[in-house]
Structures are given as structure tokens and as C-alpha cells.
Amino acid sequence: MAPPCLVHEGWASDEHFTANGTLIGSLTSLKSLVRKDGGEAQKVQSAKDEDPGNPTIHFRGEPRRNDTHQSATDPESVLYRKGPGKEARLCFGGLVLMDNRHGLCADLTLHDPIAEPEPIMALRQIQAHQNLHAGAQVKTVGADKAHHRRDFVAACWEQNTVPHVPCKDGVSVPGLDGRTTRQARYRLSQKIRQRVEEILGRIKTVGGLRRSRSRGKERTQAWGCFVAGTYNLLRMARLNLAGAR
């Protein structure tokens, strides 16, 4: 999350943020999936004996789910797909919290996208920011339609944070109506929100986090913090040269 010095020096705000998530592939493949009860250990061992370098393991006709299977090489990763029609893959969830003032990455948190959905993680990041910066009050948080949920909107209002979330067609969520969406600050927040894609693009392409280079959530999180910090330094240098601060 954004160090206090960035706020004190005017680089970052402690009031207006944007949250957005992505998937980070784990350093493993679907071939590493095994049953948690060990039911197919003999089949896996037989395939490894036949070809230790690239064992052929067939899953045709066998349903693979997180409650019955896990990766033998990276058990912390989960089978997950981003949306309907997308392929399921072993991955981690990654949630970015962006400062709206200059588009700096205030936080990057890895999580289980099934047990810890993006809206829940966004609320945790907001609370962690307020705990780090004594007296800070996050006034607004922008997000995508995945956050147009009753629990997220209600939790935001409980901590006096205005949710700037686009509304799904035909879905009514108490606490998010025209009194919020007609405000000029809402439209501005939605415009600035697109800037978070620059952070996601940078950490996945330049930072190499399209797929993790390490096993486990802890090591992948450490590399993600390094990449996010590097992004911030480069953006601060560009802002300083442009005289935008």
C-alpha cells in the first residue's frame, strides 16, 4: 500500500481510489492436478515411470474441481475462470488499488479468487489503507461491474466511502442510484478508473506476472510488490519531468 511519505509529499491521495483485479497464472500446469484423496496416485506414478520428463496423464471424462483436486507443485493456486466461456486455469487473483491523483499503485494483493472475491479484497485494502494512515478517510472508490453487489455497496457506505461502481442493467442495489451516479465526481471517477489498466498491463507484460515465475502465493506476492514499486518510481519520474505534480 502507498507509504505515508507519498501522501505527505503530495504524490498520492488518501481519499480517492480505484480497485480492479486480474488473474495471475501459477508456475504449474494442469498436468500437476491430483486428487486430494490420493485416488489416482498409481496412475500418475505409472505415467512418470513411462516418461519422467513429460508424463502423459489423461483427464478425459473426469471432472476436476477445487474441492476434489489440487496442484501437486503449487497447492495454493486454484482452478478458476474469469467468466462464462473462458477456460479454467491454475492461478491466483491479483487486486490493484490505484490512487486517483496520479495513478500510482497504492496496493497489490494476491488472493484466492474463489474464497476471497474481488469486492471483499477491495474492502480489506481500503481498511488497511485507513489503518496505515492515521486519520485518513477514503471518500470514494471506483470499480467495475463485478463490484455492483449489495454487500460491497453496503459495506462502503458503512465506512463512509462512496462506491463509484457502474450499474448492471436490470439490477437494483440499495445505496447506488441516481443520487450517486448523476454526480460529476462519479463521472470523473469512472473516467479516471480506466487508468488502472495501465498498472495491470505493466505488471503482466513488463513485470512478467502474466504467469508467476515462483511457486506459492508468498513469493509471487513479493515479486508483485517489487514490480508495483518499480512502476510507481517510473511514473513519478515521468510526472516530475512533465511538471504534473
Here the CATH number for the domain that contains residue 17 is: 3.30.420.10
18/142 Cα distance (integer angstroms): 4
First to last CA, the chain: 20
- Residue ranges in the chain modelled with pLDDT below 50: none
106/100 Cα distance (integer angstroms): 10
What pLDDT score was predicted for residue 5?
55
Question: Is residue 209 located within the same domain as residue 114?
Answer: yes
Domain that holds residue 50: 30-90
- With beta carbons less than 8 A apart as the criterion, state whether 71 and 62 touch: no
Question: Is residue 131 located within the same domain as residue 211?
Answer: yes
Count of domains in the chain? 2
What pLDDT score was predicted for residue 62?
72
Question: Is residue 81 located within the same domain as residue 181?
Answer: no
Model's pTM, two decimal places?
A: 0.85
44/32 Cα distance (integer angstroms): 9
Phi, then psi, of 203 in degrees rounded to 5? -70, -25
Question: Is residue 79 located within the same domain as residue 200?
Answer: no
What pLDDT score was predicted for residue 40?
59
Question: Is residue 225 located within the same domain as residue 107?
Answer: yes
Which are the contacts of 136, defined by CB distance < 8 A and separation ≥ 6? 7, 14, 15, 129, 130
What pLDDT score was predicted for residue 82?
82
Question: Is residue 112 located within the same domain as residue 197?
Answer: yes
Question: Is residue 142 located within the same domain as residue 204?
Answer: yes
DSSP secondary-structure letter at 88?
P
Which are the contacts of 13, defined by CB distance < 8 A and separation ≥ 6? 7, 99, 100, 101
Question: Is residue 74 located within the same domain as residue 22?
Answer: no
77/145 Cα distance (integer angstroms): 25
Question: Is residue 138 located within the same domain as residue 155?
Answer: yes
